[in-house]
């Protein structure tokens, strides 16, 4: 049997698509040790650098001391320790919704909510560049899935009009697209949804703590909190911990507690994780300068790379793609940069469409100006040497 898998792996390798794990030892919010070399991290979703903030670390340590290392049960049995309800209250307040529900990962939140909301009678309209966890949630839901071209409102409108549906219609989109860093046209999606009697769900994994004043996410960025039915997000990126959440009406949350299988059939998160996320959220509320700093750092890096003639696509956020096209070239470039002390991801199919392999750079509020200058010098010279 192993022969079959080995042959499949060889085929991946031939296509330049083989994946393997590298161990990085974190030394700060912005630096990791790789072997005996210290590298600048430009591939993390730790947008505000809060993984290493003293009050976040202290909150995690205190919760572990007070409540133990694990939760010991699912939320519906014995896993709802006291930290959950206060974090969920804070998340709802941050998102401007009645209620919120924490899942164990963002992936599980997407899979759970789509599976719970949509069934065989229903239709989900999904942007072609949505995150893999949305795609998997659509598949598990058994709903009919209509994929529309990326942020193409004419295509979405035509597909809504051409798809009669007895049941529920749901439009789902990333708020900030994870591999391109562009922002969904949520203002226009909402208008189309209302015209066609559809619900709207937005995935704020890369938007919470990152876009708009105060980092409240995509709905707030467009001033649309009341008109978005499902706001999904993660605790794993700007919130410096682990987990996902859904924010929405109390009825939606009660429904998910009863119906979302990834919520029901999995052990609750560790107290330390919840406490860390709550401490990080409190810092974002208390220090909006953190959000402004990541935005300024992103603008700075994006501007310099674009001025040097690199193609950074439509990015408006700390996710900055540098389009390369050829998969091998993207991988080689990332390896060269790593040898020069810089961790940048090479993103290849199937994560992105064939022919659009790229470097993907992410910026954090914790990066200093010297960090960013160090990074652009090396990125630009490596790209030029590779003929990009």
Ligand X SMILES: *Cc1c(COP(=O)(O)O)cnc(C)c1O
What's the closest the beta carbon of residue 56 comes to ligand X, in angstroms? 17
The strand ranges marked E within 249-365 are: 319-325, 342-343, 345-347, 357-362
- Residues 6+ positions from 296 with CB-CB distance below 8 Å: none
**Residue 102 in contact with residue 87, Cβ under 8 Å?**
yes
Burial class (CB in 10 A: 0-12, 13-18, 19+), 231: buried
Residue 97, token pair as written in the block: 């919704």
**Residue 149 in contact with residue 105, Cβ under 8 Å?**
no
CB-nearer residue toward ligand X: 237 or 329: 237
Examine the residue annotation and report whether 216 is marked as an active-site residue of this protein: no
| List 131, 237, 329, 367, catalytic entry | 237
What's the closest the beta carbon of residue 43 comes to ligand X, in angstroms? 13
Strand partners, 87: none
| List 159, 206, 229, 329, catalytic entry | 206
**Residue 362 in contact with residue 42, Cβ under 8 Å?**
yes
CB-nearer residue toward ligand X: 313 or 378: 313
Q: Which residue is nearest to ligand X (CB)?
A: 106
What's the closest the beta carbon of residue 44 comes to ligand X, in angstroms? 12
d(C-alpha 206, C-alpha 291), whole Å:
12
What's the closest the beta carbon of residue 17 comes to ligand X, in angstroms? 20
CB-nearer residue toward ligand X: 175 or 336: 175
What's the closest the beta carbon of residue 110 comes to ligand X, in angstroms? 6
Examine the residue annotation and report whether 44 is marked as an active-site residue of this protein: no
The distance of Cα 115 from the centroid of its chain, to the nearest Å, equals 19
Examine the residue annotation and report whether 178 is marked as an active-site residue of this protein: yes
Q: Which residues bind ligand X (CB under 6 A)?
A: 105-107, 110, 131, 133, 174, 178, 203, 205-206, 234, 236, 244
CB-nearer residue toward ligand X: 239 or 342: 239
| List 71, 151, 178, 345, catalytic entry | 178
CB-nearer residue toward ligand X: 309 or 353: 353
Q: How many residues does the chain have?
A: 388
Nearest CA to 46 out of 178, 221, 206 is that of 206
- Residues 6+ positions from 121 with CB-CB distance below 8 Å: 143, 165, 166, 167, 168
Q: Which residues are catalytic?
A: 178, 206, 237
């Amino acid at each position: 049997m192993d022969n079959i898998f080995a042959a499949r792996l060889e085929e991946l390798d031939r296509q330049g698509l083989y994946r393997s794990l590298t161990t990085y030892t974190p030394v700060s919010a912005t630096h990791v040790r790789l072997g005996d070399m210290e590298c600048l991290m430009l591939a993390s979703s730790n947008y505000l650098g809060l993984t290493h903030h003293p009050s976040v670390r202290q909150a995690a340590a205190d919760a572990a001391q007070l409540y133990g290392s694990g939760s010991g049960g699912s939320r519906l049995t014995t896993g709802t320790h006291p930290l959950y309800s206060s974090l969920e209250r804070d998340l709802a307040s941050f998102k401007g919704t009645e209620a919120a529900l924490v899942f164990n990962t963002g992936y599980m939140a997407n899979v759970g909510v789509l599976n719970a909301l949509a069934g065989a009678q229903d239709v989900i309209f999904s942007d072609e560049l949505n995150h893999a966890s949305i795609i998997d949630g659509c598949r598990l839901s058994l709903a009919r899935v209509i994929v529309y071209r990326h942020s193409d409102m004419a295509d979405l409108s035509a597909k809504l009009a051409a798809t009669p549906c007895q049941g529920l219609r749901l439009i789902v989109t990333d708020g900030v697209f994870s591999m391109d860093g562009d922002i969904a046209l949520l203002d226009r999606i909402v208008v189309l949804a209302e015209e066609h009697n559809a619900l709207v769900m937005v995935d704020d994994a890369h938007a919470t703590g990152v876009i708009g004043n105060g980092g409240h996410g995509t709905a707030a960025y467009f001033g649309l909190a009341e008109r978005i039915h499902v706001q999904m997000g993660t605790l794993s990126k700007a919130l410096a911990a682990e987990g996902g959440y859904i924010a929405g009406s109390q009825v939606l949350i009660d429904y998910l507690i009863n119906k979302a299988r990834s919520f029901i059939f999995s052990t609750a998160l560790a107290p330390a994780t919840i406490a860390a996320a709550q401490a990080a959220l409190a810092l974002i509320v208390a220090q909006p300068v953190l959000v402004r700093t990541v935005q300024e750092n992103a603008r700075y890096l994006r501007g310099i790379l674009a001025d040097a003639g690199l193609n950074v696509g439509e990015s408006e956020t700390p996710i900055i793609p540098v389009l390369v096209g050829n998969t091998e070239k993207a991988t080689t470039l990332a390896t060269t940069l790593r040898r020069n002390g810089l961790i940048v991801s090479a993103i290849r199919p199937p994560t992105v469409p064939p022919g659009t392999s790229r470097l993907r750079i992410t910026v954090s509020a914790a990066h200093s100006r010297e960090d960013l200058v160090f990074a652009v010098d090396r990125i630009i010279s490596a790209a030029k040497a590779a003929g990009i």
